[in-house]
Amino acid sequence: MHKLVIATHNQGKLLEYRQLLADLPLEVVSLDDLGITEDAPETGRTFAQNAQMKALAYAEMTGLATWADDSGLEVDALGGQPGVYSARYGGPGLSDSDRVRLLLQALHDLPSPQRTARFRCAVAIALPDGSLHTVEDSVEGVIAGAPRGGNGFGYDPVFLLPDRNLTMAELPPTIKNRISHRGKAAHAAKLLIAQIIDQMPSHKQD
């Protein structure tokens, strides 16, 4: 059985990935399972760079294949911001609703055609030998005028999918996980792992 580290302390995300990878011969473990509390650097200028930094750092730390992701929101009218700072938009100590409110304030005078945006996600798979594989995906939408829906998190309540006239937060989780940036990138990463699984160590390398 090969081991795969998911570079997260988020139990919800870990559960999603365990379900996604359940049909592969993998033992999926988290940083908490391995007693790792160190934070890997996330100083890249792109989602891919941040995912790669985390994957490489934890693969070296654990001696195991490591899956890391980074994702966020890009708003065209804001020059692609908040981008890699999506989780820190507006500074430390803000809640999801605080960040949504700031975003809506920044766009308050713009009509819908000028409120285009996308969610983007990158997944990096690093092996202990330093080899690295990266996949990315995205989903296009517009920023709604006000929050709608009670599902999801982050910017989901204001990310409107025009073809469905629903925000991400109004979608059932099963549909969101299929069409979202993270869902699509995760499925691409799963296909990648299936191709490289024989190169993955089954235990920590000394």
As a whole number of angstroms, the distance between CA 68 and CA 138 comes to: 16
Q: How many other C-beta atoms are found inside a 10 Å radius of the C-beta of residue 56? A: 21
As a whole number of angstroms, the distance between CA 152 and CA 167 comes to: 10
32 is catalytic: no
Given the residues 70, 76, 137, 156, the one annotated as active site: 70
Would you state the structure tokens that stand for residue 88, as one six-digit string?
């820190």
* Strand ranges in the chain using DSSP code E only, listed in sequence order: 2-6, 26-30, 65-75, 116-126, 132-143, 159-161, 166-167
Would you state the structure tokens that stand for residue 37, as one six-digit string?
């509390």
Helix (H) or strand (E) holding 123: strand 116-126
179, 139 in Cβ contact below 8 A?
Answer: yes
State the catalytic residues: 70
